[in-house]
Structure 1
Amino acid sequence: MPHDPAAALTFDTFVPPATVNRRSAVEVFVTDHTQVGPEEYAIAVRVEPGHPLWSDQVAPWHDPVAIIEAFRQAFVVVRHGYLDVQRGTPSAVQHLTLGVPELTAFRADGSAPLQGVVTVRVTRSDTAYDIAGTFAVAGAPAMTLSFDSVLFPRESYREIRAYQRTRRFADTAGAPAAPDTKPFQPEAVGRRDPSNVVIAPAVPDRPGRFPLLVDRTHPSFFDRDYDHIPASLLIEGMRQAALHTATEAGLRNGEAVLTGAELDFGIFVEIDVPAECVVSVTGEPGAITATVGIDQGGVRVASGTLTLTEPR
């Protein structure tokens, strides 16, 4: 019988936070890792049931979006541990696709962690990497996910960011100030903890456009220093906007689970310039497709579709 290196992975002890570019041990999901092929790697991950962000949803399910972060951490392990990429090298995700073929793997009982093995194939072209893989729970496929990531030389990154910030502030010169916004109540966006609400109600003359709220002290979204809004916060904003809007289509948002995504990220989204989550939904109760985007300074900086499923 062929030897399976992934079978020896353990889930007992988390790797040090710096291994996955985190500061707090609470934000670490990776427990073990190994190379299983020429460009293929297996990474054991565990998400604790008491995680302040990823275990906060109203629905009785582990949050599939947590596994996006698990994939990100897996890629950090691979690029630094196996591909000799220097730590601190800036990177950016440009496109992300995910699907959940088997939602039952995410059923939660409130006490057991979500744990499984992320298997990824990483291919490189110049400074870009294509990452594609699966997340399996007890050997059964639970999610497919792929994304591409661009790595920047540090000096090039500084030049790009300085140019983008100059353009963004020029684009917003003379624009109206952001309204004095208060966040939605948590239950309106499928959350329990008010600190995890990242959008506010749309103003009356701008339906379907929800101000994005950026709390730089949030322990999960800003666990390390960013000079832009991280993709995890953008994805959560788009999801919350979709969940709220889907109620008008008859979906009980407290039970809905994100089971698919196709997202494109353009230029970096500035922390200190107002941004909006834009959404429209189609479908029927139980299965909703949301067309989503992030607008900042009159520019669409992220866009795509989300699939929300109401388990039966």
Structure 2
Amino acid sequence: MLTTSERRSVPGLTTTVPREYVHRAALSEVFLTGWEHTGTDAFTVSAQWPRSHGFYAPEHDMHDPLLLCETIRQCGLLLSHTGYGLPLGHHIGWTRLQYALNPQAMRIATKPAEITLHVTCSDVRRHRSVPSSMVMHIEAVRDKSLLAVASIGFSNYSPAVYERLRVGRGDAARMSESAPMPPDPVSRGTAGRRRHRDIVLSPTQERWRWQLRVDTAHPVLFDHPLDHVPGMLLLESVRQAGHALEPSWGAMMPTSMDVSFNHYVEFDTPCWIEAETTSSDVGGTRRSVRVNGLQGGTFAFTATTEMTDMTSV
């Protein structure tokens, strides 16, 4: 059997990285295909995006920006394990995620998109030789064109530390199984989604306020049992809230986000999503949106995003 290092060095061999390194159960959800160490705290990671995906669905002949976010998430996990020796079984929690993308480079071609991620790591802190936190800075390139710039900050926890941090909530199987049934979703037109199952907002009596809708049976967002709401679902709530503010504005895509994660979002307490437009251009092709997630009277996460009308690109 080939080791990881051998896999990345065999000419012409096409494969994905081991799914365990990106915390995925389904091979079909692994988008990274290789990596190499290029310098001190520097790496190159390769990825491939399918032309179509059941959840990260292409719209308006464009790849889904959240496919970029999932690729960034997997990149952080992969390099933590392979580049910095973080043992499997340790937990990784986001503190902040930022990205800004070039919409033109997101167009779907006649074959899967080959992506190269140039990664540099900073603020690497260690505890007993194991990384406890870091920030990864990423430049994503496609066909020699800059696709996006991004950064992700996260902290790492050993199983023992994580169990203390979660105060009895760390049993993923038990927490997923005991999660409440998701409330009814907003309409597909409001969320900008084709399938009801992919909608993560539920209506409330207040116009720009929704309840976060968490379906622990979702095959992609919950590819495996989790003990808290995953970060990708929270990013999806930012995207859907940005669309829900003005569904009639057209084919809006989140071309940038800046999200700070303050604490885990739990299953057993409602999380409220609030959004407002902070600015827009004269033609209505771009607008900036602020989104907050509140649970238990505190901000679980705060976000800003720029929504861009893809028909104008």
What TM-score bracket applies, with the shorter chain setting the length?
0.7 to 0.9
Letter in 1 for 2:258: E
Show the 5 A alignment for 1:253-292.
Answer: 255-281=251-277, 282-284=279-281, 285-292=284-291
What is the match of residue 49 of structure 2?
Answer: 47
Cα contact 1:10–1:31 (8 A) shared by 2: no
What is the match of residue 251 of structure 1?
Answer: 249
Cα contact 2:182–2:214 (8 A) shared by 1: no
Show the 5 A alignment for 1:25-174.
Answer: 25-55=27-57, 57-100=58-101, 102-108=102-108, 112-123=111-122, 124-126=124-126, 127-162=132-167
Give me the whole-angstrom Cα distance separating, in 2, the residues matched to 1:274 and 1:228: 12
Misfit runs of 4+, over 3 Å: 6-12, 178-181
TM-score with structure 1 length normalisation? 0.85
Cα drift, residue 153 of structure 1: 2.4
Letter in 2 for 1:239: R
Which structure 1 residue ranges, 5 or more long, are not aligned? 1-5, 166-177
- Structure whose residues are more often strand by fraction: 2
Could you tell me the percent identity over the aligned residues? 22
Give me the whole-angstrom Cα distance separating, in 2, the residues matched to 1:224 and 1:134: 29
Give me the whole-angstrom Cα distance separating, in 1, the residues matched to 2:275 and 2:75: 30
Give me the whole-angstrom Cα distance separating, in 1, the residues matched to 2:293 and 2:33: 33
Q: Secondary structure at the match of 2:61?
A: coil
Give me the whole-angstrom Cα distance separating, in 2, the residues matched to 1:112 and 1:246: 33
TM-score with structure 2 length normalisation? 0.85
Give me the whole-angstrom Cα distance separating, in 2, the residues matched to 1:118 and 1:16: 18
Cα contact 1:11–1:32 (8 A) shared by 2: no
Cα contact 2:76–2:152 (8 A) shared by 1: no
Give me the whole-angstrom Cα distance separating, in 2, the residues matched to 1:53 and 1:180: 18
Which structure 2 residue ranges, 5 or more long, are not aligned? 1-7, 127-131, 171-179
Range that drifts further, 38-47 or 13-22: 13-22
Cα contact 2:181–2:215 (8 A) shared by 1: no
* Total equivalences in the alignment: 286
Change (3 A) 1:84 1:7: closer
Cα contact 2:120–2:138 (8 A) shared by 1: yes
CA deviation string 1:85-123 (max 9, x = no partner):
1011111111111111x21110125x5323311111123
